[in-house]
Amino acid sequence: MVERTLIILKPDCVQRRLVGRIIQRFEDKGLVLAGMKLMRIMPELAERHYAPHKGKPFFPGLIEYITSGPVVVMVLAGARAIAVCRKLMGKTFGFEAEPGSIRGDFGISMTYNLVHGSDSPESAAGEIALYFTPGELLDFTTADADWLGRPNEV
């Protein structure tokens, strides 16, 4: 079954010029880009995205961080995309993340953690809808789909 997930390469990732290296990790694993854009998240959108955390002590800092600079927002597709992406990202805080994961290799901060990924099919559906219209997402077959053991259509 093909699954879609939202990934945000956060302001620290963009500022550190790690975008290409991190996208490459997702693609190397066999995931496919279904949509992508460079944008700046405005506070209103950030508050909607992080609404489940409203009222928590870290909420204001989270909103300030995600709106502090450009981000790359993308939808990745593939078999078990959500679990695969979360494993590739590593634990939330870079100093706890395993070497080989994105956060384990590129992060050490408790504040700046480089990347966001949806944590469930329900959150993925809601988060994708915040950033993309259905017409902005593409379905296509990749030439290597059979070789990667994934369904042909993404």
Cα separation, 4 vs 14, whole angstroms: 22
pLDDT for 99-119, tens place per residue?
999 999 999 888 899 999 999
Selected catalytic residue, list 10, 49, 116, 150: 116
Residue 49 a catalytic site member? no
- Rounded to two decimals, what is the model's pTM? 0.93
- CB burial class (10 A; 0-12, 13-18, 19+) of residue 51? exposed
Reading the block at residue 23, the tokens are 């996208």
CATH code of the domain made up of 2-136:
3.30.70.141
The pLDDT value recorded for residue 151 is 56
Q: Is 80 left (phi over 0), alpha (psi -120 to 50) or beta?
A: left
pLDDT for 126-144, tens place per residue?
999 999 999 999 988 888 8
Cα separation, 20 vs 24, whole angstroms: 6
Q: Which three-class secondary structure state does DSSP give residue 148? A: coil
Cα separation, 43 vs 89, whole angstroms: 25
In this structure, what are the phi and psi dihedrals at residue 27, rounded to the nearest 5 degrees? -70, -40
pLDDT for 23-77, tens place per residue?
999 999 999 999 999 999 999 999 999 999 999 999 999 999 999 999 999 999 9
Cα separation, 121 vs 143, whole angstroms: 26
